[in-house]
A and B are shown apart, each in its own frame.
Chain A
Amino acid sequence: MPKCTIDGREVEFKAGENLIEVARKVGIEVPYFCYHPALTVVAQCRMCAVEVEKMPKLQTACSTPAAEGMVVRTNSERAKQNQKSIMEFLLINHPLDCPICDKAGECDLQDNSYKYGDAYMRTSEERRTYLDLDMGPVIKKNMNRCIHCTRCIRFGTEVAGIHEMVAVQRGNNTEITTIDGRPLETDYAGNYADICPTGSLTLKDFRFHKRAWMLKKTATVCEGCSKGCNMEIHQDNNVIHRTVPRANPEINKYWLCDEGRFNYHYVVDPKRVTAPKVGAERSTWHAAVAEAKARLHGKKVVVLAGTDLTLEEAKLLQDFVPKAFPGSALLHFGTPGIETTAKDAPADKILKRKSKTSNLNGFEKLGIKPLESMPAADAILVVRGGRAQLPKVEGLSNVIGLGVFTESESASFAAVLPGTSFAEKDGTIVNYEGREQRLRRAITPVGQSKALGEVLMLWLHSGAAKEAAV
């Protein structure tokens, strides 16, 4: 492999790799704003300029491919002076509103200013200011903070496939905007906030909810569809504040769709049933399990399991059902119309897939059959994680819900045993291509919710069965 020297250290590289990537291999950080590994290189922020021997001027590391024998210095006096000057230029118009800015704590501009900039500035002119335009339901724009890196524009054209975010006017007056402040059309708008190196584009969903440094992060997987995009849950005090994409070059690269990003809301939905219920009344675990057992005892039972459950949960049910209800069928449900993986297909050109649950493939691997039409039954036990779309069970009198339901979904149920959502449990899910990934428990179960294993143990070992049988 060819070699070059960066800050006195010899580094091997692959042809075509740029100096930022090569330097990162040996832990040398080159600061940058406009560069993003998944977007085209424009080299317009000039922050990453480094000194290359035998080249008269500083070279931007993002647009300079490493070459055999190249000698690069990222921390020479000239390079440092350049970084200081660029920071000064960028901050001429940047407001000092970090204390009220959502990006503070995870802001490239803030970090680089602290590391490479000067604590003092020489200008006292008024900063350029703009009125904020609305950008639809997902993104809030604050143009005053923008440093014209154009990452958002490139994300729109290159990844989301829509040229809706544009830079109007020119030079110092450049403004990033949608046409006349129209709402963003893409389903991937949340990524605009992620890639913005300043607090210019922020998520409306997260704005003013929590300071970035207070959030505890759990690496997990999105359960929004069968793609299995990697993401992080950010929570504090057992409250999920947001979910962000986690880079995985083989699945979702750096992105997450809005549907998956905002899917977590049902976990903390005030309408979610988080206490055991008998009929419409709140009850105790003991009474609710007893009621459920009584309702199902001696009946022809069908057990329906949502494909939003993990492999472990599905396996538990596979063992539990023949024991508790001998001869009963265990069928899975999830997305109407997409009952098998053969019917699953990409829903757009980027990430989304048609199966709107995470584990359809896993259920098929376990050999659980899909629910195609409701079989004749006197009683139904519905088990689900919170995302699978419920089949029509209204009109049936003995329906027991086990898992995550809202008040209205479970209104006709005889009893509800609250279970856990994807954020409250560990488990394995299998995505459309057969990749097994782990869900990680980010928060403790909300309210009195219990994990499926615990509920089934209660069911099997409580003495209520005998009483009910009498």
Chain B
Amino acid sequence: MAKVLSEKFYAEMKKLEPRYPTKVALLLPALHAAQDELGWLSSETMEEIGSYIGIHPAQVKEVASFYTMYNLKPVGKYHLKICTNVACCLRGAYDVVEHTEKKLGIKVGQTTPDKQFTLHEEECLGACGTAPAMMLNNDYVENLDIRKMDEVLAKLGVKG
């Protein structure tokens, strides 16, 4: 089977390996590295990680599906994760979610047809002091409201 993961990935794993007591402990960082590289975790990716670590691919899937921050479906170029836990919810996070859904023309959990945006609800981001908050790929955007969301989306090239 053709390899999905790059030499860079394997080099990084080599570097990380001495940090952990067992090779199985490398699973979470390996999944993170693979997701950074490919954007999401396909069955082929998980299979390759499984054979690299020496565990059954089902075991990789078990772990990857447990944690919500691993994407098991392809995501768009910009991945919006809006927090809807108590603090953000009270400060209007659901209004922002609804507005964003309308603006992008997708529902939570979906990706725009042009593969640019994916929208997800997120559990607490630990930014309750600046609620509502969201993650745009790996960056925080805080003190959200509809106007600020519009600005963010405009910067990313969404018209109107």
Contacts and interface: CB of A to CB of B under 8 A. Distances in A.
Q: Do A and B bind each other?
A: yes
Interface string B12-51: 0000000000000000000000000000000100100000
Contacts of B59: 163, 166
B65 A178 contact: no
Interface string B50-66: 00000111110110011
B65 A168 contact: yes
Given A163-B56, A168-B61, A180 B66 contact: no
A179 B61 contact: yes
Nearest to B64: A168
B66 A170 contact: yes
Given A179-B43, A180-B43, A163 B66 contact: no
Contacts of B58: 163-166, 178-179, 182
Nearest to B59: A163
Contacts of A124: none
Nearest to B65: A168
A156 to B, nearest CB: 9
Contacts of A373: none
Nearest to B50: A179
Interface residues on B, range: 10 to 19
A169 interface: yes
Do most interface residues of chain A lie in helix, strand or loop, or is the interface mixed?
loop
B67 to A, nearest CB: 9
A169 B65 CA distance: 5
A458 to B, nearest CB: 57
A170 to B, nearest CB: 5
Contacts of A169: 65-66
A168 B56 contact: no
Contacts of A170: 65-66
A168 B43 contact: no
Given A179-B43, A180-B43, A167 B56 contact: no
Nearest to B66: A170
Interface centre among B46, B56, B57, B61 (most CB of A within 10 A): B56
B40 to A, nearest CB: 15
Contact of A162 (B46, B56, B65): B56
A179 B56 CA distance: 9
A179 B65 contact: no
Nearest to B56: A163
A179 B46 CA distance: 10
Interface string A286-320: 00000000000000000000000000000000000
Contacts of A166: 58-59, 61-62
A167 B62 contact: yes
Contacts of B65: 168-170
Contacts of B43: 179-180
B11 to A, nearest CB: 27
B62 A164 contact: no
A163 B54 CA distance: 11
Interface in B91-134: none
B36 to A, nearest CB: 22
A165 to B, nearest CB: 7
Contacts of A163: 55-56, 58-59
A179 B57 contact: yes
Interface centre among B43, B46, B55, B57 (most CB of A within 10 A): B57
A152 to B, nearest CB: 12
B45 to A, nearest CB: 13
A240 B155 CA distance: 72
Nearest to B55: A163
A162 B59 CA distance: 10
B56 A164 contact: yes
B58 to A, nearest CB: 4
Contacts of A179: 43, 46, 56-58, 61
A162 B62 CA distance: 14
A182 B56 CA distance: 12
A178 to B, nearest CB: 6
Nearest to A166: B62
A262 B55 CA distance: 30
Interface of B: 43, 46, 55-59, 61-62, 65-66
Q: Identify the 6 closest CB pairs spanning chains A and B, nearest first.
A: A166-B62, A179-B58, A168-B65, A163-B56, A166-B58, A163-B59
28 contacts: A162-B56, A163-B55, A163-B56, A163-B58, A163-B59, A164-B56, A164-B58, A165-B58, A166-B58, A166-B61, A166-B62, A167-B62, A168-B61, A168-B62, A168-B65, A168-B66, A169-B65, A169-B66, A170-B65, A170-B66, A178-B58, A179-B43, A179-B46, A179-B56, A179-B57, A179-B58, A179-B61, A182-B58
Given A164-B58, A166-B59, 8 more contacts: A162-B56, A163-B55, A163-B56, A168-B62, A170-B66, A179-B43, A179-B56, A182-B58
